[in-house]
Amino acid sequence: MHNYFWKKTSFVAGFALISLLFLSFLAQAAEKKDQEDKSSLRIGVISFQALIPDEGLGDTVICPLCTTGYTTGRILRGSEKIVENIFLDKLREFKEAQIIPQERVQSVYRRISSESLKKPLLDVLKKVGHDLGADILALGYIYRYTERVGYDYSTEHPASVAFEIYMINPVDRSIIWRGVFDKTQKSLMEDVFQISSFFRGSGKWLTADQLSKQGMDEIFKTFPGFVR
């Protein structure tokens, strides 16, 4: 009887100890996740947009955010998604960046945009940021995206890319960062000052995709990071 009581007591004590250890593990995991959530920034990336001139404006487009006029050019179909994905890959290099799923961002943005047709874009972004719980919203515009005609070491027409990216604080509607890239690749005989850029591309004529990646690296040199 004594032996049975001892075994039962030991079993209960052991079960209690395991339960305490398990609860402690859950508490530590929850605390760690809470710390990670506090140290991360929720970023919503609104689908990049290819800007096509309105009829009567020639080759000029108006930036929807800053209302500045830009000279545009031919934009290949789907190029806005290419540049957006390059941007997202760059954004993922920052450990503190917690990227909100694209489907949710677009769903909220479409809904609020349709409800706020006459409101300024920054007002729309403020509402979008609030509904997403986003600390930062990013959006970009493509002004030109033409592919090279030719090969790595011989080309008839070089690639030409122009885009602009904004990061916005939706709470106060301030612009945190703006990056602009506008480039048509030239040979060294045309422009000797492009020597560093030319050899970063291994001395080849770049595709529009390669030129966009090079451009993204360049504009992010001006990015100060996520200053708190």
Q: How many Å apart are CA 224 and CA 216, to the nearest integer?
A: 14
- How far is the CA of 55 from the CAs of 59, 65, 117, in angstroms? 9, 20, 21
Q: What is the CATH number of domain 41-222?
A: 3.40.50.10610
Signed CA dihedral, 12, 18, 24, 27: sign only: negative
pLDDT tens-place string over residues 162-214: 999 999 999 999 999 999 999 987 654 444 455 555 555 556 788 999 999 99
What is the domain partition of the chain in residue ranges? 41-222
What's the pLDDT score for residue 105? Answer: 97
Six token digits for residue 79? 């190029």
Strand partners, 169: 174
pLDDT tens-place string over residues 41-91: 999 999 999 998 765 556 788 888 888 888 888 899 999 999 999 999 999
What's the pLDDT score for residue 129? Answer: 96
